[in-house]
Chain A
């Protein structure tokens, strides 16, 4: 039995080792080396890359990434909770609504982000329509700012909030809502005193599933932020391409990973029995 188990797990181990552990070790080694004259890496070993992270410019980018990811998470929760509640109360239509939530995944995220550019740009659908209707004269600055990035992130990660929320709300005992009403709680009070506290595990799981990928987002800030809105993901990409500073790029990557890991540990600790 034990031997059989080892054989079944072997492919996973092989993949994890070659595609995850080894590259991570390489990145770690890079982060401790020095930038070569023409890019790449060279001796000597140093902690210089990590020291540079303390520069206010980079701390600023880190902070900015946190608040953009945070804002996207809060908005996903604000939009996702009523939606998940609605779906969980939809009886036979549940499965239809759930598949609609997942439907966007059938198209490439890149294509969908370009579609947002088409909608938001100065000569895009929204601005053109508003101008044609005579509501505005000059186009509104809808694209290439923080708002556009947050919009793109909320759009992209909303399903990751809705699904775990739905899972907890679906399991909520209907009798508890009846009991709350029976004891004199108006619907709003029942929501805040009973439904929301009891869906805390789903809220936590959804927040983790949205916040962490948003923190490291690269595509959305690049396309919708127009390079003005730099997040950590863009900083890392720049170091490996334009700036050709692999050691620093590696150091930023590992720092981001460390932050995410710490956050996960804090959240998962609080939630016995794991996610969802």
Chain B
């Protein structure tokens, strides 16, 4: 795949610490790429270096093959959706969206604004001020303001984190939809693994300023290369040096059913979660594991003697 954005050994040093350490990655044209990691992992700093708000200490950033590290933010054909949206409070929705087009002296402004308003479903709200909009609407204005410029890469800095949880899932779907419709490359920064897994074509997991692994959601979830990636992308039972996901961990009362990796255990607790049941069992070695089992299958109660087992293929192993 052709890369529209390339980072080549990009580092960022602050007086007291190194925020980003030798990050290299390529984002394909039209791709939805996420940078995922806990707060302070350097993902936002990486995004801000692409936008031009921070200068890399070393390394290169290329957009369409040309180095952009020396360009000012207003000279780069990328655009940012800020976490707090950063809408201009003194300008209407229309004026906010027009802002970038006017700075670039573009043509057909009215037509382009009309189209983007339709895309984000804000038609009819053009003359409102940001203070007269709901949180979700503000988020869409911020998105429209950047989308209308048709940037080479749209940078999104945790754009869903300010929304309430109910709205977040709905907006997530809309966001994915808009990305598909426009074909614009998205570089999306988030600390929410569910968000990153559900939205991205590919994602990179960051920790301590370093890019741990890059791949498709399946790659990262099923074949994590580090313990960090494995445990950041969902729950893991660590059993004797290998990791097993709760949904790959099986529990049975019939010793004959258990496979080669069986361990005797005792049920500690069984928690009904609606769509599934979490069975917590203590193995004879003293360690506790969680198994996610179907609510339609066998049911388990506290104190029962069981076998915990899993398929060797489902083991997560690391060098």
Footprint of B on A, CB under 8 Å? 173, 175-176, 178-186, 189, 193-194, 197-198
Tell me whether A194 and B88 are in contact in the complex, defined as CB-CB below 8 angstroms, given that A182-B51, A182-B79, A183-B79 are known contacts.
Answer: yes
B53 lies within 8 A of A178 (CB):
yes
A-B pair number, CB within 8 angstroms: 58
Give the contacting residue for A189; candidates B78, B80, B103; CB below 8 A: B103
Instruction: Give the contacts of B26-68 with A (CB-CB under 8 A).
Output: 51-53
Q: Which residue of B lies closest to A200 (CB)?
A: B90
B103 lies within 8 A of A175 (CB):
no
Instruction: Give the contacts of B57-87 with A (CB-CB under 8 A).
Output: 72-74, 78-80, 82, 84, 86-87
A residues near B72, Cβ cutoff 8 Å: 181
Footprint of A on B, CB under 8 Å? 51-53, 72-74, 78-80, 82, 84, 86-90, 99-100, 103-104, 145-146, 149
Q: Which residue of A lies closest to B145 (CB)?
A: A183
B73 lies within 8 A of A173 (CB):
no
B residues near A198, Cβ cutoff 8 Å: 88-90
B residues near A189, Cβ cutoff 8 Å: 103
| Complex alpha-carbon distance, A198 and B80, angstroms | 21
| Complex alpha-carbon distance, A176 and B104, angstroms | 18
B82 lies within 8 A of A181 (CB):
no
Tell me whether A185 and B99 are in contact in the complex, defined as CB-CB below 8 angstroms, given that A178-B73, A197-B90, A198-B90 are known contacts.
Answer: yes
| Complex alpha-carbon distance, A179 and B96, angstroms | 10
Tell me whether A182 and B74 are in contact in the complex, defined as CB-CB below 8 angstroms, given that A173-B84, A175-B82, A189-B103 are known contacts.
Answer: yes
Give the contacting residue for B73; candidates A176, A181, A194; CB below 8 A: A181
CB distance from A237 to the nearest CB of B (A): 44
Known: A176-B88, A181-B73, A183-B103. 15 other contacts (CB 8 A): A173-B84, A178-B51, A178-B53, A178-B82, A178-B86, A179-B86, A180-B88, A180-B99, A181-B52, A182-B51, A182-B73, A182-B78, A183-B79, A183-B146, A184-B104
B103 lies within 8 A of A184 (CB):
yes
| Complex alpha-carbon distance, A193 and B104, angstroms | 14
Q: Which residue of A lies closest to B104 (CB)?
A: A184
CB distance from B4 to the nearest CB of A (A): 18
B80 lies within 8 A of A182 (CB):
yes
Q: Which residue of A lies closest to B98 (CB)?
A: A183
Q: Which residue of B lies closest to A189 (CB)?
A: B103
CB distance from A200 to the nearest CB of B (A): 8
Of the A-B pairs whose beta carbons lie under 8 Å apart in the complex, a sample of 18, sorted by A's number, is A173-B84, A176-B86, A178-B73, A178-B80, A179-B80, A179-B86, A179-B87, A181-B53, A181-B72, A181-B73, A182-B73, A183-B74, A183-B79, A183-B103, A184-B104, A185-B99, A185-B103, A194-B88
CB distance from A216 to the nearest CB of B (A): 33
Q: Which residue of B lies closest to A197 (CB)?
A: B90
B residues near A180, Cβ cutoff 8 Å: 88, 99
Tell me whether A183 and B89 are in contact in the complex, defined as CB-CB below 8 angstroms, given that A175-B82, A178-B80, A178-B82 are known contacts.
Answer: no
B74 lies within 8 A of A181 (CB):
yes
Q: Which residue of A lies closest to B142 (CB)?
A: A179
Tell me whether A173 and B86 are in contact in the complex, defined as CB-CB below 8 angstroms, given that A183-B149, A184-B103, A185-B103 are known contacts.
Answer: yes
B residues near A179, Cβ cutoff 8 Å: 80, 82, 86-88
B residues near A184, Cβ cutoff 8 Å: 74, 100, 103-104, 149
CB distance from A13 to the nearest CB of B (A): 39
A residues near B86, Cβ cutoff 8 Å: 173, 175-176, 178-179
| Complex alpha-carbon distance, A182 and B100, angstroms | 8
A183 lies within 8 A of B82 (CB):
no
| Complex alpha-carbon distance, A184 and B98, angstroms | 11
CB distance from B147 to the nearest CB of A (A): 12
B residues near A181, Cβ cutoff 8 Å: 52-53, 72-74
CB distance from B81 to the nearest CB of A (A): 10
CB distance from B253 to the nearest CB of A (A): 58
CB distance from B68 to the nearest CB of A (A): 13
A residues near B53, Cβ cutoff 8 Å: 178, 181-182
Among A182, A184, A194, A198, which residue has the most Cβ atoms of chain B within 10 A? A182
9 closest residue pairs by CB, A with B? A183-B100, A184-B103, A175-B86, A179-B86, A181-B73, A182-B80, A181-B74, A184-B74, A197-B90
| Complex alpha-carbon distance, A179 and B99, angstroms | 10
